[in-house]
Structure 1
Amino acid sequence: MVEIVDVTLRDAHQSLLATRLKTEDILQILDVMDDIGFYSMEVWGGATFDVPLRYLNEDPWVRLKLIRERVKKTKLQMLLRGQNLVGYRHYPDDICVKFVEKAFENGIDIFRIFDALNDLRNVKVTVDAARRVGAEIQLCMVYTISPIHTLDYYLSLARDIASMDVDSICIKDMSGILKPYVAYELVKRIKSEVGMRVDVHSHTTAGFAPITIVKAIEAGADYVDCALSSMSMYTSHPPLESIISSLEGTPYEIKKIDLKLALKASKYFWEKRKKYSEYDYALRNPPVDASVLEHQIPGGMLSNLLEQLRMQGAEDRLNEVLIEVPRVRRDLGYPPLVTPLSQIVGTQAVVNVLSGKPYSTIIREVRDYIKGLYGKPPGEINPELIKIVLGEEKPITVRPAETLEPIYNKIVSELPKELVEKDEDYITYALFPDIAIKYFKYRKSFKELSTYTFEVIVNLHKFNFNVK
C-alpha cells in the first residue's frame, strides 16, 4: 500500500511563502499532524535552514529539536543537498559528516539526499554518514528533460543508486514537468528492473502533478509527496485530501490517513497564510504556469530572477531572460535546474540579457562549474565557453570535495567562545559564517536583555517585568 510523505512544513511553504513560516506557527499544529497517519513529514533542510537565520532570527537547530519533542508517532525527514548540505556550495567532508550526525541527533529519521548534477560522487560522504548513524536513506534522482535525460539515463541512474545500499529512490521533479505517463513508465520499470522502493515528488507548477501522482501510484510507487490542501497547488504540491479521496473505492485506496484531521490542519494553515500575505506566491501569480514546460524554471528560481531584474530596474525584460535560460543550460551541458544550479544558470542568463552580449561577463559560479568544481556535467559544455574559462587547462576529474581541506577544528578555535551555546553553532558558522555571526550576536544580546528587570508606570500603577 502506498504511503504519504507530507511536505507542508518544508517544501510547500518554501514554494508558496518564500520559506517564511515561523517556528511558532509550526509547533501549534504538530499534535494534529502527528495523528493524520503520514509515513513521514519533511520538516527541515532545503531553504528552511538559512532563511530562518537570515530573515527570522531563528535557530534552525532549535526548530528541529522543538518539532522532534512534539512529533512522537511520525518519522521526520529532511532534504539534504549532498555535499552542498543546506548551502549553495560544496563543503569539506568533515563538515558534511558532523552535519549529518547532529541532524540525526536532533531528530531527523530520514535523509532525502540529492546532487544537482546526479553525480553520485557528491552524495557518497553524506550517504555513508547517514548509514553509520542508523538513519533511513532516500537517494534522489533529479528529474529534468533534455536530450541527455532519457528514460534509459534514469534507469541506469537508478541501478547506480541501488548499488549504494540505500533504502529507497526519490524521483525528484522540482519543476513539475514529470508527465503522468512518463511517471508511470519510469516507476514501473524501476520497480521491475531495479527492485527498489520508489517515492515520487512533484510540483503543481504546470498543473498535472496530481495526475502524475495518481499514475505513479498505479505503477506501484511506494510513497508519494503531498501537501495539505490549503498549502498546495500553484508552485507547491498535489493536495493531500484530493489525492486520498480520488483513490477511494479503488485497489489503491489509502485507509491509513485520517481525512478529518487533515482537513483540520488544512484549515489551520489557511488562516495562518493571511499572516504571510506579503510573501504569498498565489496572490500575484496565475494558478498554472504551463511555460515551465519550455523553460523548466522552478517557482523559487523564477521569483529570484524577478528580484534580480527588479534591482536593475529591468522587470520588463523577464521574457528575454526566460528565453535565455534554456540557451545557457544547453551551453553548460543541460544541468538540471535545481539548487544551486538553478540560481547559477538563472543569474548567468540575467547577465547575458542585461549586457547585450552573451558571456561577455561570466559569473564566478559558472567558471567553477566549467572547472568541474560542482561535479560532472550531464552533457558536453560549449567548447567556446571552455576555451574562455580554462584556456589550455583541463577541468578537474576528481570528486570536487577532495580539493577541500578539513575545517571543523579550525572553526572551533576561531569562533569566539562567548557566541557559542552548542556544538551545532560551529556547523552553522561553517555553512553561513556572516549570517551566523550576526544571529549569534543577536541571540546573545537578547539573552542579556532578559537578565534585566524593567519598570513601567501605567496610569500611576507600577509594574515590574522581565523579558523572556
Structure 2
Amino acid sequence: PWLRLRELKKAMPKTPLQMLLRGQNLLGYRHYADDVVERFVERAVKNGMDVFRVFDAMNDPRNMKAALQAVRSHGAHAQGTLSYTTSPAHTLQTWLDLTEQLLETGVDSIAIKDMSGILTPMAAFELVSEIKKRYDVRLHLHCHATTGMAEMALLKAIEAGVDGVDTAISSMSATYGHPATEALVATLAGTEHDTGLDILKLENIAAYFREVRKKYHAFEGQLKGYDSRILVAQVPGGMLTNLESQLKQQNAADKLDQVLAEIPRVREDLGFIPLVTPTSQIVGTQAVLNVLTGERYKTIAKETAGILKGEYGHTPVPVNAALQARVLEGGAPVTCRPADLLKPELAELEADVRRQAQEKGIQLAGNAIDDVLTVALFPQIGLKFLENRHNPAAFEPLPQAEAAQPVTKAEKPAASGIYTVEVEGKAFVVKVSDGGDISQLTAAAPAASSAPATAPAGAGTPVTAPLAGNIWKVIATEGQTVAEGDVLLILEAMKMETEIRAAQAGTVRGIAVKSGDAVSVGDTLMTLA
C-alpha cells in the first residue's frame, strides 16, 4: 500500500492526492493511541498524501482532533467532515454546531459526507447556504448515487455556494458510487459555474476505465440502478455490497430484505449513530446476527458492545439502556475521549512486528515503520501480506477482462470436460460436452473436511457456530466448569469478532476446534455436559 502511494505520486506529482482517515480509528476498527495517529499521518505525508478527509463515525469531534492536528503539523490539508445522516436527533443546528467545533479544532476545509445518498436536494441547499452564510470556510460535498438524488443534491449545493463536489468518471459512476463527472460538466457548461473541463478529454478517460471495469466485474454488487430501500435503511453503498457478500458467505442471500429492515432498529438501539465505517459494518453485522440467529441480540458482537459501553465516543442520543446494562455487567460506561484511556503503543507494536518478522524470516521494508503500521492497522491480514510480499500467487489472481480470454473449442468430450463446481456452498459434478452444453449434472460426493462433527446424541448440549467464519480464539478448556453467559470462544466473521457464550451452565466437553479453523453455520464447536 505504501509503494502504491509513492508510485501514484510519482505519476501525478502536480495532482493533490486525497485519502479518508477515520480519525482515531485511522484505517482500522478500533481506537489507536495518539502516538500511532501522529506517526501514521507523518508517514502518509512523507509517502505522498496531500489531503486528509478526517471523519469520525460518531461525529464526535474529540475523535478527530488528534488526526486533524497531526495533518496540519506536517503541512498537509486537513479537511474536517460532517458524516451526514437523518434521525429524530439530527437537525440543521446539529450540523452547524459540529461545523463550529471543527473550526475551533483547526481545519483547512469542511466536507459534508453523504455516504448513503440520503441528502435531499432541498436539504443540501439549506445546509450549504447556512454554513456558507455563517462561516468563512471552503466547503465540499460528497454524495453517493445509490438512491438517485445525488445529481440533484450536487446541483442545489452548487447553487447555494458549495466550493467543490465529488464525482466519478462516467464508466465508474452511479449505483454504489458517485454522479458522473461528464454529466455535471455538461450541466454547468455556459453558466456562471462552468467547470472549464473538456468533455472530449473526459470521454477518453471514460473509455480507458470501461476496459478496466470489465476486469473487476466479478467483484461488483447486485445493484444495477437506484435502490429506494436505502432511504429507509440509510445503508451506504460500500455497506450494501458488504451485506450482500456477508449473506452469501452465510448461505443466506435471501435474507437481505430482513437485514435491511433490521438495520434501522439496531441503529436506534445504538443511539442513532451515523452509518459510516466502522459503525456501518458494526450495525450491519449486528443486524445480520439478529436475523440469522432468529433472536434479537442473542449474540452481541464485540464491537456492538463497544459502542454500548462508550468505547467509540458519544452517541447522538443515549443508547438502549437495557442493552447497555447487559454489556456493562455492573461497570460504568466510558465518558471521556476514548483515546485518553490508551497508553502510547507504537513502541510495543514495533517491537512485536519486528519479533514476528524475525521468527518468520520476513524482510521488513527499508522504512520498517511502514510495515509496522500496516500490521498495526490490519492485524489479521497485514502479517500475511508481509510474508507473501513477493509472492503474488498467495493473493487473488490478477483479474482478467473477458475479452482477453482466448476462446478454444474442445475437440471432444473427455475426462478433462468433467468438473466439480460449487454453487452456494453445494458441490456438483458437471460434464461439459462439445459446444459447451451441460449434458450431465449430479451432486458431488461430500469431500473430506476438517469441519467440526455433529455431537453424538446424549453427549451433551452442542455449542454451534451462529455464523460461518474462522475461530479467532478458544477460551474455554476441556473439562472446565462454566456458568451461563461465560465466553467460550471468539469467532471472527464478517470482519467482526463475535463472542460465543454458554447458553447454560455445564462442563466443557469435546472441543472440536482450534484457533484458525474455518467453520460453517451450525457446526458443533464443543458440547456442554
TM-score range, shorter chain: 0.7 to 0.9
2:99 aligned residue:
158
Q: Which amino acid aligns with 2:363?
A: L
Could you tell me whether the CA contact under 8 Å between 2:176 and 2:223 is conserved in 1?
A: no
1:292 aligned residue:
230
For 1:115 and 1:399, how far apart are their aligned partners in 2?
Answer: 12
Q: Give the C-alpha shift of residue 231 in structure 1.
A: 0.7
Partner secondary structure for residue 381 of structure 2: helix
1:419 aligned residue:
363
Partner secondary structure for residue 128 of structure 1: helix
Rg comparison, structure with higher value:
2
Partner secondary structure for residue 199 of structure 1: strand
- Alignment identity in percent? 47
Partner secondary structure for residue 345 of structure 1: helix
**Paired residue for 1:116, among 57, 63, 83?**
57
1:356 aligned residue:
294
TM-score (norm 2): 0.71
Residue by residue over 1:220-249, the C-alpha shift from the partner in whole angstroms, topping out at 9 and shown as x without a partner, is 001111111111111100111110110112
Cα gap change, 1:370/1:445 in structure 2, threshold over 3 Å: closer, same or farther? same
Q: Map 1:99-114 to 2 at 5 A.
A: 99-114=40-55
Task: List alignment gaps of at least 5 residues for structure 1.
Answer: 1-59, 447-468
2:326 aligned residue:
388
**2:158 pairs with 1:220:** no
**2:220 pairs with 1:274:** no
Q: Give the C-alpha shift of residue 441 in structure 1.
A: 1.4
Q: Give the C-alpha shift of residue 400 in structure 1.
A: 0.8
For 1:354 and 1:275, how far apart are their aligned partners in 2?
Answer: 33
**2:267 pairs with 1:329:** yes
Q: Map 1:370-381 to 2 at 5 A.
A: 370-381=308-319
Q: Give the C-alpha shift of residue 327 in structure 1.
A: 0.4
**Paired residue for 1:97, among 13, 18, 38?**
38
For 2:204 and 2:315, how far apart are their aligned partners in 1?
Answer: 45
Q: Superposition RMSD on alpha carbons, in Å?
A: 1.5
**2:270 pairs with 1:338:** no
For 1:163 and 1:433, how far apart are their aligned partners in 2?
Answer: 34
Q: Which amino acid aligns with 2:98?
A: L
Q: Which amino acid aligns with 1:442?
A: N
Q: Which amino acid aligns with 1:439?
A: F
1:258 aligned residue:
198
For 1:380 and 1:119, how far apart are their aligned partners in 2?
Answer: 14
Residue by residue over 1:424-468, the C-alpha shift from the partner in whole angstroms, topping out at 9 and shown as x without a partner, is 11111211234122111112568xxxxxxxxxxxxxxxxxxxxxx
Q: Give the C-alpha shift of residue 83 in structure 1.
A: 0.8
Partner secondary structure for residue 123 of structure 1: helix
Residue by residue over 1:1-55, the C-alpha shift from the partner in whole angstroms, topping out at 9 and shown as x without a partner, is xxxxxxxxxxxxxxxxxxxxxxxxxxxxxxxxxxxxxxxxxxxxxxxxxxxxxxx
1:188 aligned residue:
129
For 2:195 and 2:390, how far apart are their aligned partners in 1?
Answer: 48
Q: Give the C-alpha shift of residue 309 in structure 1.
A: 2.3
Tell me which stretches of 4 or more aligned residues in structure 1 moved more than 3 Å: none
1:14 aligned residue:
none
Residue by residue over 1:142-171, the C-alpha shift from the partner in whole angstroms, topping out at 9 and shown as x without a partner, is 000101111111111111111122111100
Q: Which has the higher helix share?
A: 1
Could you tell me whether the CA contact under 8 Å between 1:419 and 1:444 is conserved in 2?
A: no
Q: Map 1:127-138 to 2 at 5 A.
A: 127-138=68-79
For 2:371 and 2:208, how far apart are their aligned partners in 1?
Answer: 33
**Paired residue for 2:23, among 54, 78, 82?**
82
Partner secondary structure for residue 287 of structure 1: coil
**Paired residue for 1:307, among 245, 252, 267?**
245
Aligned residue-pair number: 385
Partner secondary structure for residue 433 of structure 1: coil
For 2:220 and 2:249, how far apart are their aligned partners in 1?
Answer: 20
1:22 aligned residue:
none
Q: Which amino acid aligns with 1:135?
A: A
1:172 aligned residue:
113
For 2:9 and 2:249, how far apart are their aligned partners in 1?
Answer: 40
For 1:260 and 1:172, how far apart are their aligned partners in 2?
Answer: 29
1:62 aligned residue:
3
Could you tell me whether the CA contact under 8 Å between 2:17 and 2:50 is conserved in 1?
A: yes
For 1:100 and 1:327, how far apart are their aligned partners in 2?
Answer: 36
Partner secondary structure for residue 141 of structure 1: strand
Could you tell me whether the CA contact under 8 Å between 2:68 and 2:106 is conserved in 1?
A: no
Partner secondary structure for residue 163 of structure 1: helix
1:7 aligned residue:
none
For 1:248 and 1:412, how far apart are their aligned partners in 2?
Answer: 53
Of 425-434 and 108-117, the range deviating more from structure 2: 425-434
For 1:444 and 1:411, how far apart are their aligned partners in 2?
Answer: 23
Of 353-362 and 205-214, the range deviating more from structure 2: 353-362
1:410 aligned residue:
348
Could you tell me whether the CA contact under 8 Å between 1:138 and 1:169 is conserved in 2?
A: yes
Q: Give the C-alpha shift of residue 363 in structure 1.
A: 1.2
1:430 aligned residue:
376
